[in-house]
């Protein structure tokens, strides 16, 4: 356990090199406990803004959904990254329950993703310098409600922003701990069945390109979280379709970054 003076993970992300050095020094003498004896929460709790997200960043996912977007298909394959946001109240921990309310939506879908965390402010960041602004990476699942996406003009915010629906974690891996950013394996299992399995090398736009495009004229701040897209295998594109239901166990993993294990749990998301 880290001493209080080091602060939270949010503090370390925003504190720059000095904060990281202090945390690493504190780890050397910190009490170590087995994971079985602790409950992990989301590593991040303080958000500058909505979670920033990248859509259609795996071309196999883009293609698998052709004709299944209910008239909202783009004309051609995107030549630049597609961006949207989702509310920060979606975030839950790596073993927390995923809220499920069939009165709000009947098409709850899973989307395994790699999330990156900005560690240094920047605007109009050149692609060749973009990774210098990354603090680290996490595993995320961008659980989505497909019918809400369609019901609100085809925009993605509403269909991806229900409270307590996005697992994030299990910890924040600093960028210097990852040797091959193009070799991360992204997987999602539902009830033990492997439904998504792809490499980050299949992304249409690299981590650096995403940062460069997103920051063009727009300041990214330390602590901003950016989701980088999901590969093929989502439930909405399958025949027959597979949507999440109460009691389903969703396991999301990325090689080298860890694993999330969450149970879909009936939860009332509307007021009495």
133 and 204 both lie in a single domain? yes
Residue 34: inside a domain: yes
pLDDT digits (tens, 9 = 90+) for 213-247: 999 999 999 999 999 999 999 999 999 999 999 99
pLDDT > 90: percent of the chain: 82
19 and 90 both lie in a single domain? no
pLDDT digits (tens, 9 = 90+) for 167-213: 999 999 999 999 999 999 999 999 999 999 999 999 999 999 999 99
For residue 236, the domain's CATH number is 3.90.850.10
pLDDT of residue 272: 58
Closest CA to 25 of 10, 52, 11, 5: 5
Is the pLDDT assigned to residue 248 strictly greater than 90? yes
25 and 98 both lie in a single domain? no
27 and 96 both lie in a single domain? no
142 and 235 both lie in a single domain? yes
pLDDT of residue 31: 79
Where is pLDDT greater, at 75 or 62? 62
10 and 106 both lie in a single domain? no
Residue 272: inside a domain: no
Residue 271: inside a domain: no
191 and 235 both lie in a single domain? yes
Domain range for 7 is 1-38
Model confidence at 72, pLDDT cuts 50, 70, 90, reads low
Q: How far is CA 24 from CA 4, 160, 212, in A?
A: 14, 35, 29
Residue 82: inside a domain: yes
Residue 250: inside a domain: yes
151 and 98 both lie in a single domain? yes
d(CA 8, CA 227): 22
101 and 200 both lie in a single domain? yes
75 and 140 both lie in a single domain? yes
pLDDT of residue 29: 74
Is the pLDDT assigned to residue 128 strictly greater than 90? yes
Q: How far is CA 268 from CA 152, 163, 246, 261, in A?
A: 21, 11, 12, 21
1 and 123 both lie in a single domain? no
Contact 92, 190 (CB under 8 A): no
135 and 214 both lie in a single domain? yes
DSSP codes of every residue in the chain: ---GGG--HHHHHHTHHHHHHHHHHHHHTS----GGGS----S----SSSEEEEES-BHHHHHHTTT-STT---SS--SS-EEEEE-GGGEE-TTSPEEE-TTT-S-EE--EEEEEEE-S-BSS--GGGGGGGEEEEEEEE--EEHHHHHHTTT-SSGGG--TT-EEEEEEEEEGGG-S-GGG-EEEEEETTEEEEEEEGGGBSS-HHHHHHHHTTTS-B-TT-EEE----S--GGGSSS-----TT-EEEEEETTTEEEEEEEEE---S--
State in Å, rounded, how far the first CA of the chain is from the last one: 40
Contact 52, 224 (CB under 8 A): yes
pLDDT of residue 42: 98
What pTM does this model have? 0.94
Question: What order of strands is seen across the sheet that includes strand 134-141?
Answer: 82-86, 51-55, 225-227, 112-118, 134-141, 166-174, 91-92
Residue 225: inside a domain: yes
pLDDT of residue 67: 61
Residue 170: inside a domain: yes
Residue 171: inside a domain: yes
- The total number of structural domains in the chain stands at 2
């Amino acid at each position: 356990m880290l001493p209080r003076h080091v602060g939270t993970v949010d503090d370390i992300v925003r504190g720059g090199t000095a904060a990281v050095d202090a945390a690493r020094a504190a780890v050397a003498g910190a009490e170590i406990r087995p994971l079985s004896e602790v409950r992990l929460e989301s590593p991040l709790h303080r958000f500058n803004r909505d979670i920033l997200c990248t859509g259609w960043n795996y071309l196999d996912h883009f293609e698998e959904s052709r004709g299944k977007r209910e008239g909202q298909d783009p004309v051609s394959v995107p030549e630049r990254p597609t961006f949207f946001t989702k509310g920060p109240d979606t975030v839950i921990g790596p073993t927390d329950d995923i809220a499920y309310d069939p009165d709000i939506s009947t098409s709850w879908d899973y989307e395994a993703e790699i999330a990156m965390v900005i560690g240094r402010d920047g605007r109009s960041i050149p692609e060749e310098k973009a990774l210098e602004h990354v603090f680290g990476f996490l595993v995320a699942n961008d659980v989505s409600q497909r019918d809400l996406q369609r019901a609100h003009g085809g925009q993605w915010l509403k269909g991806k922003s229900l409270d307590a629906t996005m697992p994030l974690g299990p910890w924040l891996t600093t960028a210097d701990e990852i040797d091959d950013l193009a070799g991360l394996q992204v997987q999602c299992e539902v009830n033990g069945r492997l439904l998504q399995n792809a490499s980050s090398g299949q992304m249409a736009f690299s981590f650096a390109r995403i940062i460069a495009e997103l920051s063009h004229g727009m300041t990214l701040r330390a602590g901003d979280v950016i989701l980088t897209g999901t590969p093929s295998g989502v439930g909405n594109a399958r025949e027959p379709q597979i949507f999440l239901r109460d009691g389903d166990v969703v396991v999301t993993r990325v090689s080298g970054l860890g694993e999330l294990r969450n149970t879909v749990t009936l939860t009332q998301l509307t007021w009495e």
